[in-house]
Amino acid sequence: MFKRRNLVTLLAGTFLVASSAMAQFSERNIKFTNGVNEDHPVGVGVKKMQEILAAKTGGKMKITAFWGGMAGGDLQATQALRAGTQEMVCTSSSPLVGIVKELGVFDLPFLFANEKEADAVLDGPAGKYFNAKLEAAGLVNLAYWENGFRNLTNSKRPVAKLEDFEGVKVRVMQNNIFLDTFKTLGTNAVPMAFPEVFSALESRAIDGQENPFVTIETSKFNEVQKYLSVTRHAYTPFLILYSKKLWDQLNPQEQAVLREAAIEGQKVQRAANRALNEKSLASLKTKGMQVNEVSSAEQSRIRTKVAAVYDKHKDSIGADAIKAVQDELKKARGG
Residue ranges in contact with ligand TK8 by CB under 6 A:
35-36, 74, 91-92, 147, 173, 194, 211, 215, 236
3-state SS assignment for residue 183: helix
**Nearer to ligand TK8 by C-beta: 25 or 145?**
145
Coil, helix or strand at residue 230: strand
Would you say 173 or 322 has its CB closer to ligand TK8?
173
Q: Closer to ligand TK8 by CB, 57 or 94: give it.
A: 94
H-helix or E-strand containing 172?
strand 169-172
Helix residue ranges, H only, 125-251: 125-136, 176-184, 197-202, 213-218, 244-247
Distance CA 148, CA 215 (A): 9
Rg (CA), the chain: 22
User: What is the nearest approach in angstroms of ligand TK8 to the Cβ of residue 15?
Assistant: 44
Q: What residue is closest to ligand TK8 based on CB?
A: 35
- Smallest separation, CB 215 to ligand TK8 (Å): 5
Contact 165, 185 (CB under 8 A): yes
> Of the two residues 60 and 265, which places its CB atom closer to ligand TK8 in the complex?
265
Least separation, in Å, of the C-beta of 87 and ligand TK8? Answer: 17
DSSP label at residue 194: G
- Which helix (H) or strand (E) segment holds residue 226: the answer is none
The nearest distance, CB 42 to ligand TK8, in angstroms, is 9
Q: How far apart are CA 141 and CA 18, in angstroms?
A: 28
Name the minimum Å distance from CB 211 to ligand TK8.
5
H helices then E strands: how many in the chain? 12, 11
Nearer to ligand TK8 by Cβ, of 32 and 194: the residue is 194
- The distance of closest approach from Cβ of residue 90 to ligand TK8 in the complex, given in angstroms and rounded to an integer, is 7
Cα 115 to Cα 120, 269, 282, distances in angstroms: 9, 13, 20
Cβ proximity to ligand TK8, 213 vs 227, nearer residue: 213
